[in-house]
Amino acid sequence: MLLSTESVEKRFGGLVAVKDVTLTVNEGEIFGIIGPNGAGKTTFLNCISGYYRPEKGKITYQGHDITGKSPHQLSHMGIARTFQIVRCFPKLNAIDNIRVALIFGSGKKTYNESLDHLTRHYPKLGEDRRDPTIHQAEALLDFVRFPVSPKILAENLNTMQLKRLELARSLGTNAKLLLLDEVAAGLTPAELPDFIALVKKIRDSGVTIICIEHVMKFIMDVCDRIAVLNFGDKIAEGTTDEIKCNPKVLEAYLGEETVH
């Protein structure tokens, strides 16, 4: 087991967004979290990644109680999170975006501090090919099969390119557990198979993955196991095949959705 949550609860005023959620994620698996809009998926992911502190419950990662730790503390413990709207430095090129992540991964407190460090202390792309962060960033871009020049500013990338860049950045922080927030959203059906292959390749490289997602083809293709939330409750947990025919899940969520 890599991560477990025990009776995790998160409230917003009177609203209980996540209720008593207990689950375990095993090392090396791709674990999906699905459910209707407002079910509590993002809130739950935010509890795991340190953006929210749960009011109740406990989160354990690699045997350590991580409940209430900050995102940057968790990031240095190997937990990385992507966002549905990709967050990168728009005025930096792809390679420098990854170099910032590499510098952050090597111990800086925040991404902004890492950016400052890159600007002050590291050679610019093209100035000094011996700088190891350039080589590492190039290798990560190769790994995610980044399809355009690494010198393109992030603000000029399309959704699919940005998502690949974000995955490379997450890997640059030396992630052992990657939390993907609707990573397939905005991709065209033609782009999906390659992206699914990439997520599996990341898992095969030794990174455990938790993803929340509405794109059913993605979920059913990549996940080993799935938990289903509904109004903050976990109503089911199981393999993709078990979830596809679980009556509670069909009633609450999958109903009319195409799951094949």
Ligand X SMILES: Nc1ncnc2c1ncn2[C@@H]1O[C@H](COP(=O)(O)OP(=O)(O)OP(=O)(O)O)[C@@H](O)[C@H]1O
Could you tell me the smallest distance in angstroms from the CB atom of residue 45 to ligand X? 8
| Closer residue to ligand X in complex, CB, 41/108 | 41
Q: Which residues contact 51 (CB under 8 A, 6 or more apart)?
A: 71, 81
In the DSSP assignment, the letter for residue 215 is -
Percentages helix, strand, coil for the chain, rounded to the nearest 5?
A: 40, 25, 40
Backbone angles phi, psi at 46, to 5 degrees: -65, -30
| Closer residue to ligand X in complex, CB, 35/50 | 35
Contact positions with ligand X (CB under 6 A) in 27-86: 35, 37-43
Cα–Cα distance between 260 and 254 in angstroms, integer? 11
| Closer residue to ligand X in complex, CB, 39/66 | 39
Contact positions with ligand X (CB under 6 A) in 5-24: 12, 15, 17
x/- binding map, residues 125-164, to ligand X, per CB under 6 A? ----------------------------------------
Size of the site for ligand X (CB under 6 A): 11
Q: Where are the beta strands (DSSP E) in 51-143?
A: 56-61, 64-65, 79-81
Residue among 56, 73, 57, 79 at smallest CA distance from 3: 79
Could you tell me the smallest distance in angstroms from the CB atom of residue 8 to ligand X? 12
Contact set with ligand X (CB under 6 A): 12, 15, 17, 35, 37-43
